[in-house]
Chains A and B, each alone.
Chain A
Amino acid sequence: MKQFHGQALSWELSDGVIEVALHREPCNEIGSQTLEELEKLATALEILTDQSHALIIYSDLKSGFCSGADLRELYCRSREMEQAKALEGVRDYLKRIHRVMNTLDASPLTTIAAVHGVTFGGGFELALACDLIIADKMARFCFPELRLGLIPGFGGIPRLKRDLGNGVVRDLLLTGRSINATKGQAIGLVSQVVAEGEALKAARATASQIGKFDRRTAIAAKQFIKPIPYEELQREIDIFCDLFAQPAVERGLKRFVESAEVLPYLP
């Protein structure tokens, strides 16, 4: 399938580059619909990889790249079930999203997240699964999960630690503060900072450059330098599920979903 148009995302293969556009209002929250379509992408990659050298993921929405997991859906679904069932559902959901993230992380393609605006929580984790992050100067990165009594659950902690080191993880995780693209570049998270609205263009230029290299060499280089921290990823799922069973989480989710605060995204 060289192209796909779903409710949450679309993709198209052209000139060896797969462009994945996120377009679920209001800010690409990752719920069950997005997950299903990401799984379709992961499956399609098995075939498309032979015909491509790079993948770019970006958002079509002005609000930002992705604000993370769909907390409203998570809250509503978990309230409909008894706790054991809800926990089972959360674990299943996490396993599925981890499979997608791991597929993207380990893909033989060179993957680029072209981000702008809000790149929070699961959105940040999606970007971290990519090889390169190219950021519009208005992008902001954040792990707000502690506000809810949780940790990031889509693989963010092990991947950030792999890429940047424990000190940066502690700063972002334990304070829940957001950082801008310039700071992201200073700490080695962001490979390029570009002007407003220019991230996709810069990602395309980068993908074009990548296409000049021998594929086998590029794949060998990526496999050598980018190990997937499978053990820590599994531990992350376990810790997330342990925490999810705590009453503080339901309170945190309820507060978020019902919040009339003007700054619900700020931890």
Chain B
Amino acid sequence: MRTADQTLDEILNLAAIHFKVPRQKLTPDDDFFKTLGIDSLQALDLLTRIEHHFNVELPDYELQGVSDFRTLAGRIQARL
């Protein structure tokens, strides 16, 4: 089973690769909308990639109000 830190690290890696942002520029408490410069459709895209990567289902209403990687990782971790 992944630790919370591993989950967070994998999300940061996934976001960096997909949105072509240097990994070192992403930190756990970043607002991913601002850091990645993504809109709502791209956020859905990120959600889908995360679901596939972790093999989990994350209802999108659980993401309401979530904008930083650390909280997002917490939501994922709760479903692993």
Contacts and interface: CB of A to CB of B under 8 A. Distances in A.
Interface of A: 27, 63-64, 117-118, 137-138, 140, 142, 175-180, 182-183, 261-267
A63 B39 CA distance: 11
Contact of B41 (A64, A175, A176, A179): A64
B60 to A, nearest CB: 5
A261 to B, nearest CB: 8
A265 B61 contact: no
A118 B44 contact: yes
Q: Is the interface of B mostly helix, strand, loop or mixed?
A: helix
A180 B49 CA distance: 10
A262 B44 contact: no
24 contacts: A27-B41, A63-B41, A117-B41, A117-B45, A118-B44, A138-B45, A140-B48, A175-B59, A175-B61, A176-B61, A177-B59, A177-B60, A180-B51, A182-B52, A262-B33, A262-B40, A262-B67, A263-B60, A263-B63, A265-B41, A266-B44, A266-B60, A266-B61, A267-B60
Contacts, number: 57
Interface residues of B, number: 19
B57 A263 contact: no
Contacts of B52: 137, 180, 182
B14 interface: no
B38 to A, nearest CB: 8
Nearest to B34: A262
A179 B40 contact: no
Contacts of B33: 262
Given A177-B59, A180-B48, 4 more contacts: A177-B60, A179-B57, A266-B61, A267-B61
B48 A177 contact: no
Contacts of A138: 45, 48-49
A178 B58 CA distance: 9
A171 to B, nearest CB: 10
Q: Which of B45, B47, B48, B51 is the most central at the interface, judged by chain A CB atoms within 10 Å of its CB?
A: B48
B16 interface: no
